[in-house]
């Protein structure tokens, strides 16, 4: 754990970590991801887990995400989510 | 292994005579203090019926008209060490277990000294004339000691052949075992080594425990005690004479510090520190004071050593006004290894942060960030951590 320096965070110098990255995902009829990526398309071999996050419902743009932990045909594992506000897909380390 | 034993009878008293020849021929007792008791360390040869460590009052009850001399152990040790140094030029294996008792390994010396007479002549040359030596040569330390004890003063005895016959009539008091065991032997009516040797080892061991085995083996002339030669180490000794005699602790400390500066100038270049030193002083009335100081971790600089010396000087007062101060370095050592880390070292971290700030100033914006927890409990991954500029 990083030691608390006791200093106030300054908005102009603070940088977020683990920001979601937009990604192109093909869905099947039920909405499950079947392939990830555009030019370098990779097929989803299996959906290993799925969960939903509903948070900050008191804000004007509440967080509503449907997460999928998937395994690609290459064996790589990814965590994807579909933002239910704008129906866009993102990948993110969870 | 062939061992030569030298016994120098009345060594402390002889040292006193060496220092003050007027004492020769006068009855004298050398005493030392243990707690509140004054005990006998040594005496002039003409006084009979005295024993080492007996209370002085008992000794005075037997001999009223005697000179009393306070033991100067540092002086005796210095004289004894000079003797051992001289003997080491004759044989590399020299052990001095007690003042006035020396064991020498003589195996192989026949290549230098063709016969035992030549060897004994060389050994006698190393012994100052003040001392009267008794020399014994035998196959182990115990037999060599007994041979030396049984040799006439100034002569030698070489133990060969029938050792059992030599040991048979010797009293059990010659055994280097505890007083309790000697007393118990007397209680059993066992007075001579021959009587012990005639017993079976089992019963002796069952009565005397582990020491019983040793008693039985010694009585039969077996002694496997190895020779422990002096450990050769580079000795550093420095001393300084004060401009005037003083009782001031500060003046003594300054003198010690001056000596230590000289010592560290020599050893610090080699990365060595002091593990053990002996601080000694000599008063104007020739009284010696000394204390050995051990350092748990080697003292790597003058300041560390001086702070320890100061405490010792405060705790153990000087016997009188001091005119000479000296330090003998007994043991040197390297500092204990420590795993160093760039980030855990405060100074290194300060330097690092300073460098980062310089980089930020030169490039105009933060260049190095530190990961900081913001909302580690959050279910939204990107809210948990943030990067903050290092050093701000």
B185-229 pLDDT, tens digit per residue, is: 999 999 999 999 999 988 898 899 889 999 999 999 999 889 888
Chain A: residue nearest B391 by CA? Answer: A5
Measured distance CA(B119)–CA(B279) in Å, rounded: 37
Which candidate, B83, B76, B77, B93, places its Cα nearest to that of B124? B83
How near does any CA of chain A get to the CA of B299, in Å? 34
In sequence order, the β-bridge partners of residue A66 are A52, A82
Domains in chain B, CATH or no CATH each: 3-158 (3.40.1170.60), 164-219 (1.10.150.20), 236-333 (3.30.1490.100), 356-389 (no CATH)
Q: Please report the residues numbered 5 through 44 in chain A whose beta carbons come closer than 8 angstroms to any beta carbon of chain B.
A: 5, 7, 9-10, 13-20
How near does any CA of chain B get to the CA of A9, in Å? 7
Measured distance CA(B81)–CA(B377) in Å, rounded: 74
Between strands B133-138 and B156-158, the pairing is parallel
For chain B, the residues whose C-beta falls within 8 A of a C-beta of chain A are 366, 369-374, 379-382, 384-389, 392
- Angle, helices B116-126/B73-88, rounded to nearest 10 degrees: 140
Per the prediction, chain B carries an average pLDDT of: 87
CB B387 to CB A55 under 8 A? no
Helix, coil or strand: residue A21: strand
CA distances for B370 relative to A5, B340, B364, B366, B390, angstroms:
11, 21, 18, 11, 5
In chain B, residues with a C-beta closer than 8 Å to the C-beta of A55 are 379-380
- Would you place residue B52 in the very low, low, confident or very high pLDDT band (cuts 50, 70, 90)? confident
CA distances for B276 relative to B150, B258, B269, B293, angstroms:
40, 18, 18, 6
pLDDT for residue B364 is more than 90 = no
pLDDT for residue B320 is more than 70 = yes
Measured distance CA(B238)–CA(B325) in Å, rounded: 9
pLDDT for residue B384 is more than 70 = yes
Q: What is the DSSP letter of B231?
A: P
- Would you place residue B391 in the very low, low, confident or very high pLDDT band (cuts 50, 70, 90)? confident
**Which distant-in-sequence residues (6+ apart) come within 8 Å of B323 by Cβ?**
B241, B242, B244, B245, B246, B282, B283, B284
- Would you place residue A4 in the very low, low, confident or very high pLDDT band (cuts 50, 70, 90)? low
Which candidate, B24, B4, B286, places its Cα nearest to that of B129? B24
Q: How many CB pairs under 8 A join A and B?
A: 50
Chain B: residue nearest A94 by CA? Answer: B381
pLDDT for residue A9 is more than 70 = no
CB A14 to CB B384 under 8 A? no
Predicted ipTM?
A: 0.82
How near does any CA of chain B get to the CA of A6, in Å? 10
CB B382 to CB A15 under 8 A? no
CA distances for B198 relative to B15, B201, B257, angstroms:
42, 9, 63
Is any Cβ of chain B less than 8 angstroms from the Cβ of A63?
A: yes
CB B382 to CB A16 under 8 A? yes
What is the pLDDT at residue B272?
85
pTM of structure: 0.55
In chain B, residues with a C-beta closer than 8 Å to the C-beta of A12 are none
- Give me the half-sphere count of Cα atoms (radius 13 Å) on the Cβ side of residue A43: 2
How near does any CA of chain B get to the CA of A17, in Å? 5
List the structure tokens of B140. 């182990």
Nearest beta carbon to residue B386 from set A4, A17, A53:
A17
Measured distance CA(B116)–CA(B110) in Å, rounded: 8
CB A13 to CB B392 under 8 A? yes
> Secondary structure of B243-288 in the HEC alphabet?
EEEECCHHHHHHHHHHHHHHHHHHHHHHCCEEEEEEEEEEECCCCE
What is the pLDDT at residue B342?
55
Specify the length of chain B in residues.
Answer: 392
pLDDT for residue B340 is more than 80 = no
B273 exposed, middle or buried (CB, 10 Å; 0-12, 13-18, 19+)? buried
Chain A: residue nearest B373 by CA? Answer: A2
């Amino acid at each position: 754990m990083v030691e608390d320096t006791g200093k106030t965070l300054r908005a102009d110098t603070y940088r977020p970590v683990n920001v979601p990255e937009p990604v192109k995902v093909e869905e099947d009829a039920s909405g499950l991801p079947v392939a990830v990526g555009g030019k370098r398309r990779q097929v989803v071999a299996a959906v290993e887990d799925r969960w939903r996050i509903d948070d900050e419902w008191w804000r004007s743009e509440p967080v509503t995400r449907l997460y999928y932990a998937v395994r690609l045909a290459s064996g790589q594992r990814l965590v994807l989510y579909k933002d239910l506000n704008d129906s866009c897909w993102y990948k993110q380390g969870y | 292994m062939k061992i030569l034993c030298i016994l120098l009878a009345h060594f402390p008293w002889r040292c006193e005579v060496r220092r003050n020849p007027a004492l020769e021929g006068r009855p004298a007792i050398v005493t030392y203090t243990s707690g509140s008791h004054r005990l006998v360390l040594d005496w002039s040869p003409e006084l009979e019926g005295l024993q080492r460590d007996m209370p002085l009052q008992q000794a005075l009850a037997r001999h009223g008209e005697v000179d009393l001399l306070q033991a100067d152990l540092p002086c005796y040790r210095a004289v004894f060490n000079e003797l051992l140094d001289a003997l080491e030029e004759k044989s590399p294996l020299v052990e001095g277990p007690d003042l006035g008792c020396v064991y020498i390994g003589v195996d192989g010396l026949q290549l230098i000294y063709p016969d035992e007479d030549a060897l004994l002549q060389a050994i006698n040359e190393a012994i100052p004339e003040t001392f009267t030596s008794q020399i014994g040569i035998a196959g182990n330390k115990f037999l060599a000691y007994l041979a030396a004890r049984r040799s006439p003063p100034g002569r030698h005895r070489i133990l060969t052949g029938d050792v059992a016959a030599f040991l048979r009539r010797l009293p059990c008091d010659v055994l280097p075992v505890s007083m309790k065991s000697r007393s118990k032997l007397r209680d059993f009516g066992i007075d001579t080594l021959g009587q012990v040797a005639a017993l079976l080892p089992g019963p002796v061991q069952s009565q005397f425990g582990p020491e019983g085995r040793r008693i039985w083996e010694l009585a039969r002339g077996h002694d496997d005690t190895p020779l422990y030669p002096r450990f050769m180490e580079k000795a550093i000794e420095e001393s300084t004479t004060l401009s005037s005699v003083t009782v001031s602790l500060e003046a003594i400390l300054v003198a010690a510090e001056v000596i230590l500066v000289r010592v560290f100038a020599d050893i610090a270049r080699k990365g060595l520190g002091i593990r053990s030193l002996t601080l000694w002083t000599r008063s104007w009335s020739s009284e010696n004071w000394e204390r050995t100081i051990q350092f748990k971790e080697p003292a790597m600089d003058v300041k560390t050593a001086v702070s320890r010396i100061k405490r010792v000087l405060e705790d153990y007062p000087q016997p009188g006004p001091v005119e000479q101060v000296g330090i003998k370095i007994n043991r040197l050592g390297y500092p204990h290894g420590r795993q160093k880390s760039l980030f855990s070292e405060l100074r290194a971290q300060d330097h690092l942060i300073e460098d980062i700030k310089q980089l930020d100033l030169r490039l105009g914006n933060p260049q190095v960030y530190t990961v900081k927890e913001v909302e580690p409990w959050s279910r939204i991954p990107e809210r948990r951590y943030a990067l903050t500029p290092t050093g701000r």
